[in-house]
Chains A and B, each alone.
Chain A
Amino acid sequence: QKEVEQNSGPLSVPEGAIASLNCTYSDRGSQSFFWYRQYSGKSPELIMFIYSNGDKEDGRFTAQLNKASQYVSLLIRDSQPSDSATYLCAVDDNNDMRFGAGTRLTVKP
């Protein structure tokens, strides 16, 4: 059984701080990794994706991947109250996309 694990939180950070979200996965053969944001009662929307070891930056978001340790993380810089949501880690292996349960993030003004 392929597993994707996340700390469910809630994670609370003050406005302007860095939020750090972590994810581990069990299948060493996994090739691509995604972070989705999901607001309450809404469907997930893609934030970032990463395929290679190292860091990938997009605006305030940085994804980090370490395949040897089987973890992927998401950093959100200058956190805003509008970033308050559940962040889902997803791991894809040839059209078999599996999600973690998500980490609930609250950014306090």
Chain B
Amino acid sequence: DAMVIQNPRYQVTQFGKPVTLSCSQTLNHNVMYWYQQKSSQAPKLLFHYYDKDFNNEADTPDNFQSRRPNTSFCFLDIRSPGLGDAAMYLCATSTSGFNEKLFFGSGTQLSVL
């Protein structure tokens, strides 16, 4: 089945230790998104790729970076995780154009010790 896959499901890192979360898709969608969701809060858009064009949200901290080496894969790098970065990180994809719905991966729950 075509889908969006996130690995790992749970990630534990240490304060200040770089961590990378991965996302892959078999839907061949040209738009990929990274959202951060903390408990009982709205998913917050960090950035998205429209094909290879990177679009960063104005309030996304510099500590967060992303890479999209090809259509299928997208990575979220957190250079120096702080305790406040503990959250669920959601990857989503969509086609471009008007009114396109998001397809979500299962998410990666990040803990920072």
Contact = CB atoms under 8 A, between A and B. Distances in A.
Interface of A: 4, 8, 31-32, 34, 41-46, 49, 51, 88, 90, 92, 94-102
B83 interface: no
Interface in B85-102: 90, 92, 94, 96, 98-102
A45 B50 CA distance: 22
B81 to A, nearest CB: 21
A97 B106 contact: no
B45 interface: yes
A3 B18 CA distance: 32
B2 interface: no
17 contacts: A31-B98, A31-B99, A34-B101, A41-B109, A42-B107, A43-B90, A45-B104, A49-B101, A92-B100, A95-B31, A95-B48, A95-B50, A96-B45, A97-B92, A97-B102, A99-B44, A101-B42
Interface of B: 31, 33, 35, 40-45, 48, 50, 90, 92, 94, 96, 98-102, 104-107, 109
A52 to B, nearest CB: 10
A73 B99 CA distance: 18
Nearest to A94: B98
B43 A99 contact: yes
Contacts of A102: 40, 42
B102 A100 contact: no
A43 B94 contact: no
| 5 shortest interchain CB distances as A-B pairs | A32-B99, A43-B104, A99-B42, A101-B42, A99-B43
Contact of A44 (B43, B44, B94): B43
B42 A43 contact: no
A9 to B, nearest CB: 10
Contacts of B99: 31-32, 49, 51, 92
